[in-house]
Amino acid sequence: MRKLLIILSPIFIFAKVHYAKLEPYETITLKSAISAEVIKSDISLEGEIIKNRVVIKLDSKLDSIKLSSDKKALEIIKNMLSINSNNLSATLESLNRRENYYNRVQNIKTISKTKKDNAFYNFINTKQKYLSIKEKIESLKKEKLELIYDRERLKDNISKKNIKIKNKFLDKLLVHKGDFVNIGTPLARLRDLTKGKLTIFLEDDEVKDVKSKKIYIDEKLTNYKISKVWLVTDDKFISSYRAEIVIKSPKWKFSKLLKVELR
């Protein structure tokens, strides 16, 4: 009698292995928003994480002079507005009196035509003076608004000429002292090291339910998930879909090649 030998083999779930270079979460190229000469470029800060510091300065001498001049001009306009406002009040009082006098005498027959005409002309001249002062005040208000705008624009220009970096890694400064930059000229390359990013390329059969899969990095289980999957295949790897894993606090060195498995 033959014996039937049945061998029960365990079922293994195989995960495809990917290798990805740990990269900074974001690379940023700072570009000039203004045209000016570079008067400072602190090359010594390259390769450091800059907390809060000006690393590039563009020439703002003329802007500062104009800003100071506009400040003085604004004070003069404020004084002129005050003077003209007081003058307008006094002229309005005079206008009301002359109008009342003219209205009172124009129908009195015993008053000569000459006096009536004088009363009328005095009333009209005072009214014209009143309107002229009022027009002057409106013109000063407009000039004041233009100066305020001009001062804010100058402040904005000066701030754009002091290139400050906050909590970023300064990879490379792209300009040097003495260079002249135009709008859009690259000034510095920065990297965001507060998070890391792993890029892998998935085959078609891996994409399904990929965001629910567990991620192992260098054979260790992590709590990370796929952050993003491109809906079209990659330009370079034409049969694969690009996917990214964002990690909050990298424990590995950037640019290190890591083994990534999705199970």
Based on the domain organization, do 169 and 216 belong to the same domain? yes
Q: Is residue 13 very low, low, confident or very high in pLDDT (cuts 50, 70, 90)?
A: very low
Q: Which of 126, 160, 194 is the last residue of a domain?
A: 160
Q: How many alpha carbons lie under 13 Å from residue 55 in its C-beta half-sphere?
A: 28
pLDDT of residue 1: 42
Residue-wise pLDDT tens digits, 181-199: 999 999 999 999 989 999 9
Q: 124-140: b or e for each residue (b if 16 or more CB lie within 10 Å)? A: eebbeebeebeeebeeb
Tell me which of 126 and 238 has the higher pLDDT.
Answer: 126
Based on the domain organization, do 69 and 96 belong to the same domain? yes
Inform me whether the pLDDT recorded for 15 exceeds 70. no
Based on the domain organization, do 208 and 237 belong to the same domain? yes
User: Which DSSP letter does residue 232 get?
Assistant: E
Based on the domain organization, do 156 and 174 belong to the same domain? no
Q: Which of 160, 195, 217 is the last residue of a domain?
A: 160
Inform me whether the pLDDT recorded for 245 exceeds 80. yes
How many Å apart are CA 101 and CA 123, to the nearest integer?
Answer: 9
- The answer to whether 99 touches 120, Cβ cutoff 8 Å, is no
Residue-wise pLDDT tens digits, 64-98: 999 999 999 999 999 999 999 999 999 999 999 99
Q: What is the pTM of this model?
A: 0.72
Q: Which of 160, 179, 203 is the last residue of a domain?
A: 160
- The answer to whether 257 touches 20, Cβ cutoff 8 Å, is yes
Based on the domain organization, do 112 and 186 belong to the same domain? no
Number of domains in the chain: 2
Inform me whether the pLDDT recorded for 2 exceeds 70. no
Question: Which residue range(s) make up the domain with 38?
Answer: 17-44+163-262
Least confident among 107-111, 115-119, 181-185, 250-254: 250-254
The stretch 52-71 carries a mean pLDDT of 95
Based on the domain organization, do 68 and 29 belong to the same domain? no
Q: Which helix (H) or strand (E) holds 83?
A: helix 61-105
In a domain, 2, yes or no: no
Tell me which of 212 and 11 has the higher pLDDT.
Answer: 212
Tokens at 230, concatenated: 């491109």
The stretch 106-117 carries a mean pLDDT of 85
In a domain, 192, yes or no: yes
Mean pLDDT score across all residues of the chain = 89
Based on the domain organization, do 90 and 38 belong to the same domain? no
